[in-house]
């Protein structure tokens, strides 16, 4: 059965009706397969993002090691706070200072080395509350949704505020999404030759803006080149991506995952990481009549693992 | 039969042997499908690029119209030369000045309007020598090669120095390549709301460097995220892309299309558009033992149309 982990309800019905409508040849709302593009946020939409973004945990885990290799890193107050596990203290120095540390950590690594680093961490690390590898904390109902979209000839893309190379390292295994179908925040790389090989080397600087808010729509154009007709997110940083899908010429479906299940996952409001003043996503959803997915009520099962 | 328009010879054999080698499970050179990434240049590799890039013809065709709408454009000396059909005269002002004109032409158009403009031109315009629509001037042997690669579970990408949105407008129809699988030179777009819709509006500025030379390797990482194992090109601007594939961990095949058929197409040396001093691609091919495809000797048929 399609969407087996979804309880009967408005969200499940909206999804099933939408995929039927756009794929029914000859129907008034038919959309040709070439334009069936689906974009989904990752953190908090396809997998858990608490106690903090898994990518942040990846970075913190490697910070001690990095300071041993580059002692000058450890002299920065923000790094001292991070090493002491004092996330609130580190946040006093601002998101940019924290991001700067992360960028320095991997500067000089080739993109291929970084991918191996990330994959190795995923294979070994465990979630602090659930005690399982992070790869088991994808949402089973969302994996079923990806399957359904592909069955109906959608091309499925992850459009994440996370680092594109971090998410690519696990996208195929967890979601069946190949690296070319991941759009995310990116760092600059330099073109170099090492030992007779061309390699691309990560720099301590971002390439453009973090992929959140309006940049999600801009980067969908840069990487995908087609306005989506399906979009799913969970935070205020996803609002423009959903509105971009919503305001196209075709019928569209916009889903907002509401984290309202403290027992099985977490209960919280998902803010935009880079814009604390953005309208709460549930208000945007209400204003634009998007479909809200209650984790508590709409999902009979949470995690795939 | 695979590669039906290819004559028996070293090039055809090299291709057939390569796709067999990398797709034979259990073989020493087996490459998993996830890493079977093929990248191909467009102008001069998948279709004709003479008497000049087809995208330049698209732009010249619309210049008069654009000057009527924005008379200040017509006062620029480079535009006067272009309007008079004096390409050599225009080139005296430099490639940047010409590019600047092209960028101004479409500034203010949404990405969706631009796509419609390009598709309309393709549907109507004809090649000055061959008298057929430009879409008929793809190379039949290369289309067969794309089919063969896909049969062997390669993911096929166009990596072009041309404008990404221009090539996307025809990529699916001509090559079966969807817009998300085209990597090219890009312009900046702004995020705007017009009449209650989010639109992306082209600006008169490029996004990064033209997609030629080292940027082809960098943009393959940015958009595809996997080092290719197959690469094809025809100009000095493709050398780094081919060398990037060539210097990976897996077996690779690098093809260079040699335009040596004046009767059926054109005979010329393909320079890099942005670096006249680059090593000629046939010398690079010889130095690195890449496979050279003679249009005259290796192809029994040239055009698909």
Span A13-53, pLDDT tens digits: 999 999 999 999 999 999 999 999 999 999 999 999 999 88
Q: How confident is the model at residue A83 (pLDDT cuts 50, 70, 90)?
A: confident
> Who wins on pLDDT, A82 or B189?
B189
Q: How far is A257 from chain B (nearest CA, A)?
A: 22
Instruction: Tell if the CB–CB gap between A191 and B223 is shorter than 8 Å.
Output: no
User: How many Cβ pairs closer than 8 A exist between chain A and B?
Assistant: 88
B251 and B275 Cβ atoms separated by less than 8 Å:
no
3-state secondary structure chain A: CCCCCECCCHHHHHHHHHHHHHHCCCCCCCCCHHHCEEEECCECCCECCCCCCHHHHHHHHHHHHHHHHCHHHHHCHHHHHHHCCCHHHHHCCCHHHHHHHHHHHHCCCEHHHHHHHHHHHHHHCECCCCCCEHHHHEEHHHHHHHHHHHHCCCEEEEEEEEEHHHHHHHHHHHHCCCHHHEEEECEEEEEEEECCEEEEEEEEEECCCCCCCHHHHHHHHHHCCCCCCEEEECCHHHHHHHHHHHCCCCCCEEEEEECECCCCCCECCCCCCCCCCCCCHHHHHHHCCCEEEEHHHHECCCECC
Residues of B whose CB is below 8 A from A156 = none
C-alpha torsion B233→B234→B235→B238, nearest 10: 10
pLDDT (average), residues B241-246? 98
CA trace torsion B216, B218, B223, B226 (10° rounding): 100
pLDDT in tens, A93-139: 877 787 788 888 889 999 999 999 999 999 999 999 999 999 999 99
Find where tokens 């312009």 sit: B187
A62 pLDDT above the threshold of 80: yes
B contacts of A181 (beta carbons < 8 Å): 180
pLDDT in tens, B169-188: 999 999 999 999 999 999 99
Query: Between B2 and A272, whose confidence is greater?
Result: B2
> What 3-state class would DSSP assign to B100?
helix
- ipTM metric: 0.94
Å from B161 to nearest chain A CA?
A: 15
Q: Are A260 and A295 in contact (CB under 8 A)?
A: yes
How do beta strands A182-185 and A291-294 pair?
unpaired
Strand-pair category, B182-185 with B187-194: unpaired
In chain B, residues with a C-beta closer than 8 Å to the C-beta of A207 are 222
**If you average pLDDT over residues A204-221, what whole number do you get?**
95
User: Would the CB atoms of B180 and A178 count as touching at under 8 Å?
Assistant: no
Beta-bridge partner residues of B39: B157, B231
Q: Which of A155, A168, A243 has the CB atom closest to B225's CB atom?
A: A168
């Amino acid at each position: 059965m399609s969407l087996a982990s979804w309880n009967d309800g408005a969200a499940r019905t909206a999804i099933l009706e939408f995929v039927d409508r756009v794929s029914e040849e000859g129907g008034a709302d038919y959309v040709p397969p070439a334009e069936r593009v689906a974009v989904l946020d990752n953190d908090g939409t396809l997998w858990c993002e608490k106690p903090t973004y898994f990518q942040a945990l990846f970075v913190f885990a490697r910070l001690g090691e990095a300071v041993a290799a580059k002692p000058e890193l450890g002299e920065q107050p923000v790094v001292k706070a991070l090493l002491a596990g004092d996330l609130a203290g580190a946040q006093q120095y601002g998101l940019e200072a924290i991001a700067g540390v992360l960028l320095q950590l991997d500067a000089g690594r080739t993109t291929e080395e970084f991918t191996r680093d990330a994959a190795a961490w995923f294979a070994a690390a465990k979630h602090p509350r659930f005690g399982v590898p992070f790869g088991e904390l994808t949402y089973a109902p969302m994996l079923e949704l990806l399957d359904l979209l592909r069955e109906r000839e959608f091309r499925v893309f992850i459009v994440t505020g996370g680092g594109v190379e971090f998410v690519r390292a696990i996208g195929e295994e967890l979601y069946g999404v190949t690296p070319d179908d991941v759009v995310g925040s990116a760092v600059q790389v330099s073109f170099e030759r090492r030992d007779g090989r061309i390699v691309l080397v990560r720099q301590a600087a971002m390439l453009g803006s973090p992929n959140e808010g309006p940049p999600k729509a801009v980067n969908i154009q840069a990487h995908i080149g087609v306005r989506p007709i399906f979009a799913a997110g969970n935070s205020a940083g996803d609002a423009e991506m959903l509105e971009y899908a919503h305001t196209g010429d075709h019928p569209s479906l916009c889903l907002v995952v509401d984290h309202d299940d403290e027992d099985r996952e977490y209960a919280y409001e998902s803010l935009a990481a880079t814009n604390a003043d953005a309208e709460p996503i549930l208000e945007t959803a209400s204003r634009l009549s998007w479909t809200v997915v209650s984790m508590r009520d709409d999902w009979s099962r949470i995690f795939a693992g």
